[in-house]
A and B are shown apart, each in its own frame.
Chain A
Amino acid sequence: MEWLTAFLNDLQLSGPALWHGFTITLKVLVMATIGGILIGTLLALMRLSSIRVLNLFAQGYVNLFRSIPLLLVLMWFYFAVPFFYTALTGNYLTIDTALVSSIVAFMLFEAAYFSEIVRAGIQSIPKGQTAAAYALGMTYGQSMRLIILPQAFRKMTPLLLQQTIILFQDSTMVYAIGLLDFFRTNYVRGDLMALLTQYILFAGLVYFSVSLIATYAVKKLQRRLTV
């Protein structure tokens, strides 16, 4: 049991660092989810629009991001954003490139997935609801904002949350660009203290527990929403 006690002793010291890593993971998760849903909703509206240019743009966007690996998107942003920033302004980026790249990459990547969920959500609302909104004199914007989207989001909430749980796990990929999220903090600490196996197991346990509890909560919510 010595390998466990050594780990537990070290965990007391590394606790604050791990917690900080966890807040980074949460930051990426929350920002990417909010941004992804906003952009995804816009894409969904474009996809459903009768204006051909918008429609094609949304289709192209979704196809593009669904056809390239997340890891590549992540790296592109990590390398491309500072490059273009410097090329355009002549200055060097002073922000935390790894964090910003992670957030932007996940946001844009998730937007493609969220847009499909939102599109299905909008399409699940009966056509008559739009007709009724229009018949009362509402504009397209009003009917979407006040009538269709509130109903659609209610229906999609479980799916959106499920996608967020997947994102929670996928966010470990920021490892590749060196962002000290929860997983990488565990890895670095374990490597440093020669407790790598224990730290990786521990990280896995945390990701597993959080995801499992969240999935269970979503299922419960879903049952309440469908009643």
Chain B
Amino acid sequence: MTEPKIMIDLQNVSKWYKDFQVLTDCSTQIRQGEVVVVCGPSGSGKSTLIKTVNGLEPFQKGQILVDGISISDPKTNLNKLRSRVGMVFQHFELFPHLSITENLTIAQVKVLGRSEAEAKQKGLAYLDRVGLSSQANKFPAQLSGGQQQRVAIARALSMDPIAMLFDEPTSALDPEMITEVLDVMVELAREGMTMMCVTHEMGFARQVANRVIFMDQGKIVEDCTKDEFFNTQRGERAQQFLDKILH
């Protein structure tokens, strides 16, 4: 059996804020259908790393290929590439001045050039999949945090992405709302979506992750399969982190 193709390929990515190095030689590959969880203490650079993947954070050294296309190549149409990669943010970032339906359709129409009707049909289908079809005409502020995040996932999926990036999707949620978001993510993972998730939800990692990346001080310290990560002795720093987070 041939291995699935590499969707996200990070090669020695380094980034500095002035003199301060935030990422040091980060390399990893995510293949189609793979679910990779990125974890690590706060300030370890994991959010910065995931944001370099769709060019939201520039980097100074190294290379990132998404579906074979270089992010940093000046010839790359970055907007087009971004429209093919879904991203879910810690603070949802739904557009508060637009209704839920408009949130789902605006980029489909303006970026992908779909018709209003087609965009609406697609958006509402995904809204239904995250279990919120009754909220279509409301505004983001009328929804709970968990519901907003599910809409945000539906919004990203409406663009038919080739991969999804999750940047701490549950960190800003009340505990009772975390599950509803994780359930959607688990379902997505099981359907074969390529996913890179920055999260502290180790339950999610155990359930669906193929691999776990552990970061500390801007470096990728561990990059191994889920079983290796949870069941075998890891490096000192990762072990400390795991002991704390799993008590």
Quick check: is A34 within 8 A (CB to CB) of the other chain?
Answer: no
Quick check: is A151 within 8 A (CB to CB) of the other chain?
Answer: yes
Contact partner, B159, options A129, A134, A137, Cβ 8 Å: A137
B residues in contact (CB < 8 Å) with A: 51, 54-56, 79-80, 82-87, 89, 91, 93-97, 106-107, 110-112, 155-156, 159
Known A132-B95, A138-B79, A139-B79; judge A146-B106 contact (CB<8 A): yes
Do residues A142 and B111 form an inter-chain contact, with CB atoms below 8 A?
yes
17 more A-B residue pairs beyond the given contacts A134-B56, A136-B106, with a C-beta to C-beta distance below 8 A:
A126-B93, A131-B56, A131-B89, A132-B93, A132-B95, A134-B82, A135-B54, A135-B87, A136-B82, A137-B83, A137-B107, A137-B111, A137-B159, A138-B107, A142-B110, A146-B106, A151-B96
Do residues B159 and A126 form an inter-chain contact, with CB atoms below 8 A?
no
Interface size on A, residues (CB 8 A): 18
Quick check: is A16 within 8 A (CB to CB) of the other chain?
Answer: no
Q: Which residues of chain A from 106 to 165 have a CB within 8 Å of any chain B CB? A: 126, 128-129, 131-139, 142, 146-147, 150-151, 154
Q: Which residue of B lies closest to A137 (CB)?
A: B83
Distance of A139 Cα from B87 Cα, bound (Å): 16
Do residues B91 and A136 form an inter-chain contact, with CB atoms below 8 A?
no
Sampled A-B contacts (6; CB under 8 Å): A128-B91, A131-B89, A134-B56, A134-B82, A135-B54, A146-B110
Distance of A196 Cα from B51 Cα, bound (Å): 69
Distance of A198 Cα from B93 Cα, bound (Å): 58
Distance of A134 Cα from B57 Cα, bound (Å): 11
Distance of A63 Cα from B139 Cα, bound (Å): 40
Known A128-B89, A142-B110; judge A135-B82 contact (CB<8 A): yes
Contacts of A137 in B (CB 8 A): 79-80, 82-84, 107, 111-112, 159
> Is chain A's binding surface mostly helix, strand, loop or mixed?
helix
Please list the 6 inter-chain residue pairs (A to B) with the smallest Cβ-Cβ separation, ordered nearest first.
Answer: A137-B83, A132-B93, A136-B107, A135-B87, A137-B111, A128-B93
A residues in contact (CB < 8 Å) with B: 126, 128-129, 131-139, 142, 146-147, 150-151, 154
Contact partner, B93, options A129, A139, A150, Cβ 8 Å: A129
Contacts of B85 in A (CB 8 A): 135
Contacts of B80 in A (CB 8 A): 137
CB distance from A48 to the nearest CB of B (A): 18
CB distance from A187 to the nearest CB of B (A): 45
CB distance from B4 to the nearest CB of A (A): 24
Q: Which residue of A lies closest to B110 (CB)?
A: A142
Q: Which residue of A lies closest to B82 (CB)?
A: A137
Known A128-B91, A131-B93, A151-B96; judge A136-B56 contact (CB<8 A): no
Contacts of A134 in B (CB 8 A): 55-56, 79, 82
Known A137-B111, A146-B110; judge A151-B97 contact (CB<8 A): yes
Distance of A133 Cα from B96 Cα, bound (Å): 12
Known A142-B110, A151-B96; judge A136-B89 contact (CB<8 A): no
